Amino acid sequence: MVVSNNCIEPIVFPLDTTSENIVIYGQLTDADEPQYVYIQKSSVDQNLPAPIRGAFVFLVDNQNNRYRYTEDKAGRYKLNNLTHGTPGATYFIEVTINNSIYRSEKERMPTTIGSDSVSYTISKETYESADFARLVHRLDVFSKSKLPSETDYFLRWDTNEVYYFQMTNFPDIFNTPAPDCYASDRVDPQRITLLNGSSVTGKSVEQLVAQREIDFTFLDRHYIIVRQLSTTRDSYEYWSKVKALLANTGSPFDIPPAIVQGNIENTDNPNETVLGYFETCRVTTDQFFLVPGYIPYYIEPYCTYDFQKPYERYPAPCVDCLALPNGTYTKPAGF
Amino acid sequence: MLILLHFATIGQCQINPLLLGDSTKNKQQLVALTGTIESTSTHKPLPGAYVHVDGLLKGSTDEFGKYFILLKRGKNRVVFTHVSMTPERYQIEIYEASVLNLEMSEKVFELDEFVVNGQESDYHVKQPISGTESLTISTIRTLPALIGEPDIIKSLQLLPGVTSVGEGTAGVNVRGGRTDQNLMLMNEAIVLSANHALGFLSPFNSDALGSFVLYKGVVPSNYGGRSSSALDIKMRQGDFSQWNFQLSAGSSVSKVLVEGPILKDKVSILVGGRISNTNWLLRKTKNDNVRGSNVSFNDTYTSISAKINSKNFLDVNLLTTGDYFRFSNKFGYTWSTMVTSATLKNLITKNFSVNTLFAYGRLKNSYFDISTQESPEITNTINYSQLKASGILVIGENSLTFGAETVIYKSSPEKIGPHSTTSTIVPNEVQKDSGRELAFFVSDDWSPLPWFSFSAGARYSSFSQLGPDSVFQYDSNKPRLVSNIIDTVIYTKGNIQRYHGFEPRLSVRISLSKTQSIKAGYSKMFQYVHTLSNTTAPTPVDLWQVSTTHIAPQQSENFSLGYFQNLKSDKWSMSLEGFYRLSTHQLEYKDFADLTQNPHIETELLQGLGKAYGVEVQIKKNRGKWTGWLAYTYSRAFSKVNGDFKEEKLNNGTWFPSNHDKPNVAALVLNRKLFPRGSFNLSVTYSTGRPITIIDSYYNVNGAVIPNYSNRNQYRIPDYFRVDVSFEIASIFKKIDDTLVLGVYNFLGRKNAYSVYYERFANQTRLVPYKLSLLGAALPSITYTVKFKGKKR
């Protein structure tokens, strides 16, 4: 009876606009790939978190070797002179922002890791909201993982995508084709898939690691790459809290939400709330790709040339590859 | 000897002056007054009538209508009250043991005679203990109720200094205390949880309710084990002379009550039961989840009272509750309470009586999740046994209370298992802790001077954590984490850890005049059992946890100072009280604490300081066409956890508002008697919104957009305001003793915020805050009650 009379309305809080915090997130893996640290300020309003530029960032290993990161994009710092970390070695990062030094705790790169075999299914799903219902095709990505023989390990799965994007071919007298365009992104980043080795009994586990709507980005070759990350216990606990936060809806019966404390602090002011985490991981990957022929549904063309359509009415990515998330005209490795 | 002199009228009350005895013959300071009270209409003895002397409750009539009190030599103001009878007032000048037999007439609705306060109107001025509250059952019945069912706990929330986290939450917060810091007693037996009917009702059936007192300031030393307050509820005995039957049918709750003599004037029984009928309303909603939900509850109260002989009495009581709630096909709770007690009252001499209580209780709750294939069900059970013996010895002007009490808490292992046959969960058990509380107490109420009285007492309490149990040893140089366990000590039996402490209690009253007094109080209290609830509001599945090697008892020191005054011949009364409480080892929870299936629960808990302070004002109109009160409380409640390690600090180790910190709380209660057989009732409540933790920014980590929450309890939900009305009319049908109550809860239909929750739209990464109002509209209720009285046996 009580529930039947309940009522839900949007509410606006006068937020404390001084509550922006520094966010530092870095990941060092044992794979030969670019290693990044991202630095930003949390965003109180609806804007994206603001990148912090001009920071000095160093990686320090257990031999006290210091490796410099340099800013290659606003708020993104790329590690120089080192392409990967070493399992069993210990690392931390040191970041200087406006004379304040932020230092992470030491993280030992794990030595154990399992292996994955990924698969997918495609299904129909109806997205319902208060105003409308929409039928979409959904890609479900599964990973069947062979687990390490030890029990003291902590795993996380990230799913990425890389795809070719066919921009609009505008006719010209030289019949110049549209440039090749590629884009990459995280898939379903709000899904945190974790596994604690001490909580499983078998030697393999199969789980859903990502879901994604099938849209115009599947009009050409589309790679899905699943990364299994072997992390530390502390990293696992950090991501467990993030997962709890993302699942929390604020009900009085929920576990009260809180700030997720990472492993980075201001050396001069330990009371400053510093968000984010620096983690060291072993990585294995498995991948598959999809082309339209694999998808049993029709995908509406996105960038087809229409001579009656003014140039400015084409979707931005059809005329500018950089409008896509992480869009690039450079062919990625493996394509 | 009884000489009736003359009648006098003061204000609206008739006072009967009496001279009893010869002033020259007896020089004893205290003299006995005894007698029998009968009903004017039936000429039968009247059990359950109260005897007040100079504003203080001194005794009551037994099942034969007999009373026995001691009066000081000279003039005494004696008032006899009964819930359904018109009070009888006497100005008695007494010098030797005397008998006063009287008759009381049934209360009729006279515009000027309706008395709001169950005690005498000057109770607050004369009562020596500060911070006590009580309401009559008739007052509780007149208050507009949520589902048409009067409730003691909900009624308490209209009194100054008493609040709750919100609608639909069980328990009360008294003077900044947590809900588990209130000692709740039913006929002196401990009741661990008031969570019933999803928090909208307490387990106490108002039809079986006798009286209650809430000690929110100084708690007398015969009560202990909680660090905030004590609520002493006395349930009714069955009628010793005739069978009565009562039936109520309401839009949400139906109930029945039967009482009568098993052996006339020897043994009586009272059986009452309530059952919900709310699901039909759920089916009326448009929301699929709500329509697919199920809520039901029931409770029973049984009392058997026996007079063994003229000096020995036995009461046996049993309270049971059962609750079930399932939200759609997602999750649900079941929980039940059972409390049974046997009390033997022995009148050893005229000045000395002994009460012996044995009680046994069980609280069992389960949480089940049916949204996943695992479909787990987690079950917790705590059993407790209580033995209490107390004596009251009257020596001269002193009333000495002393005794001992022990409570054994035994928790069953927390079980997780399959909720259904298709469940894939692997069953498991986690051992829970047990312990024994032991206390000795003594107190003395003394009025050495007419203008000065005090109540001084002390309680020595101890607690032992009992084996068998495993105690984890943590590295003392590191935060208390599972990863820092360095050893495990296994105890097969006996004491594992012992705590003890001395708890002084003192309350002093100084009368400035016959209508004014000042009271001051101090008390220290220990609490050895705690609820573990990592949620804002109490839930049905809160765990009870005894103190252990790693969980120290909570302690509180309470100070209060108050001014009390009655005006216009007690027609009006007012009070102004201030309080300050400092608590240590108050339980808080680490961020993201996981309390279920956790064998090292101490790694999720933090203990810190708590402080609360405030001022309470109450203005009450006791008689007249309109009666009622206005109560306002300004109070604050804070917590502080500043451990040695970063993981053991909350909000950087600074003071932060407690979940129930509501600075401004006001309540207005009005009752208007409508001649000849009706009454109109209004209650208005306002409070500052409670503190919450909300999302105040966002950031990206590894592609995930993560909400960043504020410091704990940094923000507040909007303020709360509610108006309730009810109209009660008696004798709907001629020759039938019936009552119809029409009520509208939340008359203005205000959408008060119960909580703030977040929702994510299909492709959005950011969450949108929504205000959830449990009651988004005016909620009418209707209850029809009919009573039948059998013939006298």
Share of chain B above pLDDT 70, in %: 89
Out of A180-189, B52-61, B215-224, B558-567, pick the least confident.
B52-61
Q: Using one digit for the tens of pLDDT, what is the confidence trace for A152-197?
A: 899 999 999 999 999 999 988 888 889 999 999 999 998 999 999 8
Instruction: Classify strands B626-640 and B664-674 as parallel, antiparallel or unpaired.
Output: antiparallel
Q: Quote the pLDDT of residue B536.
A: 57
Residue of B nearest to A128 (CA): B762
DSSP characters for A162-191? EEEE-------TT-PPPPPEEEEEESSTT-
- Collect all residues of chain B within an 8 Å Cβ-Cβ radius of residue A11: 718, 753, 756, 769-771
The rounded mean pLDDT for chain A is: 89
- Bridge partners for B529 per DSSP: B546
Q: Quote the pLDDT of residue A129.
A: 57
- Taking the C-alpha atoms of residue B716 and residue B721, their distance in angstroms, rounded to an integer, is 15
Q: Looking at CA atoms only, how far is residue B409 from chain A in angstroms?
A: 26
A115-128 sheet: strands from edge to edge: A115-128, A133-146, A204-213
- Collect all residues of chain A within an 8 Å Cβ-Cβ radius of residue B652: 271
Residue found under tokens 């970063």: B646
Q: What is the band of B734 on the pLDDT scale with cuts at 50, 70, 90?
A: confident
Contact at CB, B766 and A46, closer than 8 angstroms: yes
Q: Looking at CA atoms only, how far is residue B712 from chain A in angstroms?
A: 7
3-state DSSP call for residue A5? helix
Q: What is the band of B109 on the pLDDT scale with cuts at 50, 70, 90?
A: very low
Q: Over range B548-570, report the average pLDDT.
A: 92
- Taking the C-alpha atoms of residue B231 and residue B213, their distance in angstroms, rounded to an integer, is 6
Q: Over range B8-29, report the average pLDDT.
A: 54
- Collect all residues of chain A within an 8 Å Cβ-Cβ radius of residue B714: 16
Q: Quote the pLDDT of residue B25.
A: 59
- Taking the C-alpha atoms of residue A112 and residue A163, their distance in angstroms, rounded to an integer, is 31
- Taking the C-alpha atoms of residue A252 and residue A239, their distance in angstroms, rounded to an integer, is 23
Q: Quote the pLDDT of residue B102.
A: 86
Q: How far is CA A174 from CA A177, A304, A307, in A?
A: 9, 19, 17
Q: Give the helix ranges, DSSP H, for B99-183.
A: 123-126, 137-142, 152-156
Q: Using one digit for the tens of pLDDT, what is the confidence trace for B377-388?
A: 899 999 999 999
- Collect all residues of chain A within an 8 Å Cβ-Cβ radius of residue B774: 2-3, 5-6
Q: Quote the pLDDT of residue B301.
A: 97
- Taking the C-alpha atoms of residue A159 and residue A287, their distance in angstroms, rounded to an integer, is 9
DSSP characters for B617-664? EEEEE-SSSEEEEEEEEEEEEEEE-B-SSGGGBSGGG--EE-TT--SE
- Taking the C-alpha atoms of residue B120 and residue B492, their distance in angstroms, rounded to an integer, is 55
Q: Using one digit for the tens of pLDDT, what is the confidence trace for A133-157?
A: 777 889 999 999 998 888 889 999 9
The two tokens of residue A320 are: 């500018």
Q: Using one digit for the tens of pLDDT, what is the confidence trace for B328-348?
A: 777 888 999 999 999 999 988
Q: What is the band of B314 on the pLDDT scale with cuts at 50, 70, 90?
A: very high
Residue found under tokens 């149990």: B469
The two tokens of residue B589 are: 């929870």
Q: What angle do CA B339, B340, B341 make, to 5 degrees?
A: 130
Cβ proximity of B151 and B171 under 8 Å = no
Whether B717 shows a pLDDT value over 80: the answer reads yes
Contact at CB, B200 and A255, closer than 8 angstroms: no
Residue of A nearest to B482 (CA): A233
Residue found under tokens 């929450």: B709
Whether A273 shows a pLDDT value over 60: the answer reads yes
A252 interfacial to chain B (CB closer than 8 Å): yes
Q: Give the helix ranges, DSSP H, for B85-160.
A: 123-126, 137-142, 152-156
CB neighbourhood size of A152 (10 A): 11
The rounded mean pLDDT for chain B is: 85
- Taking the C-alpha atoms of residue A45 and residue A84, their distance in angstroms, rounded to an integer, is 36
Nearest to A6 among B200, B756, B773 (CB): B773
- Collect all residues of chain A within an 8 Å Cβ-Cβ radius of residue B167: 2
In single-letter form, the type of residue at position B785 comes to: T
Q: Quote the pLDDT of residue B217.
A: 82
- Collect all residues of chain A within an 8 Å Cβ-Cβ radius of residue B539: 253
Please say whether the dihedral angle defined by the alpha carbons of residues B67, B69, B73 and B79, taken in this order, is positive or negative.
negative
Whether B373 shows a pLDDT value over 80: the answer reads no
Contact at CB, A242 and B701, closer than 8 angstroms: yes
Q: What is the band of B620 on the pLDDT scale with cuts at 50, 70, 90?
A: very high
Q: Quote the pLDDT of residue B115.
A: 31
Contact at CB, A5 and B761, closer than 8 angstroms: no
Q: Give the helix ranges, DSSP H, for B222-312.
A: 279-282, 288-291
Out of B25-39, B407-421, B620-634, pick the least confident.
B25-39
Nearest to A241 among B592, B755, B756 (CB): B592
Q: Looking at CA atoms only, how far is residue A137 from chain B in angstroms?
A: 14
Tell which phi-psi region holds residue A330, choosing left (phi > 0), alpha (psi between -120 and 50) or beta.
beta
Max avg pLDDT among A296-310, B120-134, B367-381, B523-537:
A296-310
Q: Over range B685-709, report the average pLDDT.
A: 90
In single-letter form, the type of residue at position B674 comes to: L
Q: Which residues contact B2 (CB under 8 A, 6 or more apart)?
A: B18, B20, B98, B99, B100
B532, B700, B758, B764: best mutation site toward chain A, by most A Cβ within 10 Å?
B700
Chain-centre distance for alpha carbon A1: 43
Cβ proximity of B154 and B87 under 8 Å = no
Whether A44 shows a pLDDT value over 90: the answer reads no
CB neighbourhood size of B664 (10 A): 12
The two tokens of residue A31 are: 């794979």
Q: Using one digit for the tens of pLDDT, what is the confidence trace for B162-198?
A: 988 777 677 789 999 998 999 999 999 999 988 888 7
- Taking the C-alpha atoms of residue A15 and residue B217, their distance in angstroms, rounded to an integer, is 38
- Taking the C-alpha atoms of residue B520 and residue B19, their distance in angstroms, rounded to an integer, is 35
Q: Looking at CA atoms only, how far is residue B279 from chain A in angstroms?
A: 7
Contact at CB, B769 and A44, closer than 8 angstroms: no
A42's enclosing H/E stretch is: none
B646, B699, B717: best mutation site toward chain A, by most A Cβ within 10 Å?
B699
Residues of A (214-243) whose Cβ lies below 8 Å from B: 233, 240-242
Identify each DSSP E strand in B533-625 by its residue range: 543-546, 554-567, 572-589, 605-621
Out of A26-35, B142-151, B352-361, B368-377, pick the least confident.
B142-151
Q: Looking at CA atoms only, how far is residue A72 from chain B in angstroms?
A: 17
Q: Which residues contact B397 (CB under 8 A, 6 or more apart)?
A: B29, B30, B72, B446, B447, B448
Q: Using one digit for the tens of pLDDT, what is the confidence trace for A75-122?
A: 999 999 888 999 999 999 999 999 999 999 999 999 999 999 999 999
- Taking the C-alpha atoms of residue A111 and residue A282, their distance in angstroms, rounded to an integer, is 7
Higher local confidence (pLDDT), B624 or A179 = A179
- Taking the C-alpha atoms of residue B500 and residue B459, their distance in angstroms, rounded to an integer, is 11
- Taking the C-alpha atoms of residue A209 and residue A288, their distance in angstroms, rounded to an integer, is 14
Residues of A (32-91) whose Cβ lies below 8 Å from B: 38, 40-44, 46, 48-49
A105 interfacial to chain B (CB closer than 8 Å): no
Contact at CB, B290 and A4, closer than 8 angstroms: yes
Share of chain B above pLDDT 90, in %: 43
- Of the candidates B560, B709, B511, the one whose C-alpha atom is nearest the C-alpha of residue B228 is B560
Whether B10 shows a pLDDT value over 50: the answer reads no
In single-letter form, the type of residue at position A175 comes to: N
pTM of this prediction?
0.83
- Omega of the bond leading into B468 within 30 degrees of 0 (cis): yes
Q: Which residues contact B185 (CB under 8 A, 6 or more apart)?
A: B191, B223, B230, B231, B232, B233
Q: Over range B478-497, report the average pLDDT.
A: 92
Q: What is the band of B569 on the pLDDT scale with cuts at 50, 70, 90?
A: confident
Q: Which residues contact B767 (CB under 8 A, 6 or more apart)?
A: A249, B695, B707, B758, B759, B760
Cβ proximity of B333 and B419 under 8 Å = no
Identify each DSSP E strand in B111-252 by its residue range: 132-133, 162-163, 173-174, 182-186, 189-190, 209-215, 229-235, 242-250
The two tokens of residue B295 are: 């809520």
Nearest to B769 among A6, A11, A49 (CB): A11
Rounded (10°) CA dihedral A291, A295, A301, A302: -70
Q: Using one digit for the tens of pLDDT, what is the confidence trace for A193-252?
A: 999 988 777 788 889 999 999 999 999 999 999 999 999 999 999 999 999 888 766 555
Q: Which residues contact A313 (CB under 8 A, 6 or more apart)?
A: none
Whether B212 shows a pLDDT value over 70: the answer reads yes
- Collect all residues of chain B within an 8 Å Cβ-Cβ radius of residue A257: 693, 695, 707, 709
Please say whether the dihedral angle defined by the alpha carbons of residues A241, A242, A248 and A250, taken in this order, is positive or negative.
positive
Q: Quote the pLDDT of residue A4.
A: 45
A186 interfacial to chain B (CB closer than 8 Å): yes
Please say whether the dihedral angle defined by the alpha carbons of residues A196, A198, A200 and A205, taken in this order, is positive or negative.
positive
Q: Over range B74-98, report the average pLDDT.
A: 80
- Taking the C-alpha atoms of residue B300 and residue B322, their distance in angstroms, rounded to an integer, is 9
